[in-house]
Amino acid sequence: MTPGPVPVKTIFETKEELIKYVQNFGISHGIVITIKGSSNHGRFSNYLYLKCDRGGRYKRRSKSAPIRLNTSTRQIGCPFELRGKLVEEECDNGNLKEYWHLKIHNSNRNHPFLAKNLIAHPYARRLHEDMKTTIESLSKSGTKSKHIFRHVKSNHVLVTTRDIYNQTKSIKLKNLAGRTPIKALIDELSNDEEWLFHFHSDTNGHVEYLFMAHRTSIDMVRKYPTVLIMDCTYKTNKFKMPLLDVIGINPCNLSFYVGFCFLKGKDIEIITCKSKRIYTWRSY
Ligand SMILES: [Zn+2]
């Protein structure tokens, strides 16, 4: 048993701040610190127990479970342990102030502290809740995974591109809530009064086109309908539906978006209510 480095900071405003500090301390010294015991209710809510992930011994989940042979365990009885306690203190003005105090219960360890590479350790790579919130907001705003990765990497050195990809995928699945992506898009557009849209499905329920335009764009095109530029963008989605962009030009020679249309084929007729038909797009 040899004593290892210990955290220097001992006072924290919240329990979350304490956990984050201790886990970052562990990562910088090549160990993974996990929560041994914690409670949000009852008298134990004032205490927090933290240990090295190599502490404890392997236990069978139940006595009836068969003994597994030829297996290995990370748990080698490392005694390194920290304890956090919620302290109430009276301030000079008579008010009570609460803070978390970190105490080193056992600084000994029975293995080297500087592990070669913690990137292979799933617990060390785990994303904190605030990081998950950041990833969700960046993902919703359309930021690509590689750019999210660069942003998160600056705060969390062990994160990998695969972690970011998995997190964005689970966010997308949660938002879809069992719907297909096109159904989710139509639901979003239905709930947003700022967007006007129209779509058509074939007898099998497959979408043949989906046209959408923002109300501001419609006001603009009513004012400046003289020149419209239309072009298809390919490879925008996995369904291989081309996206037709309609762009208008104002008198100052500046362009503005009029609308977008996902197309099944290359041909589309844009129809208005008044004249029944004004533009036909055909790609040759
Ligand atoms: Zn340890």
115 half-sphere exposure, CB direction, 13 A CA radius: 18
Ligand 1 geometric centre to CA of 15 (Å): 22
Coil, strand or helix at 257: strand
Helix locations, 46-199, DSSP H: 129-140, 145-153, 161-176, 181-191
- 243: Cα separation from own chain's centroid: 27
* pLDDT tens digit sequence for 51-79: 888 887 777 667 776 666 666 677 788 88
d(CA 140, CA 204): 30
CA 48–ligand 1 middle distance (angstroms): 18
Mean pLDDT score, 157-174? 86
**pTM of the complete model:** 0.55
Distance CA 208, CA 265 (A): 8
Whether residue 248 is predicted with pLDDT greater than 80 in this model: the reply is yes
- 130-141 pLDDT, tens digit each: 888 888 998 888
Amino acid present at 46: N
Gap from CA of 43 to ligand 1 centroid (Å): 28
The Å distance, Cα 32 to ligand 1 centre, comes to: 8
239 Cα to the center of ligand 1, angstroms: 50
Q: What is the distance in A from the centroid of ligand 1 to the CA of 169?
A: 34
Ligand 1 mean position, distance from CA 4 (Å): 9
Phi–psi pair at 59, nearest 5 degrees:
-120, 145
Give 56 Cα–ligand 1 centroid separation in angstroms. Answer: 10
**What is the C-alpha to C-alpha distance for residues 6 and 21, in angstroms, rounded to an integer?**
12
pLDDT 10s digits, 194-239: 998 988 888 888 888 888 999 999 899 889 988 888 888 877 777 7
CA of 108 to the centre of ligand 1 (A): 8
Cα 126 to middle of ligand 1, angstroms = 19
Instruction: Report the separation in Å between the CA atom of 229 and the middle of ligand 1, taken as the mean of its atom positions.
Output: 65
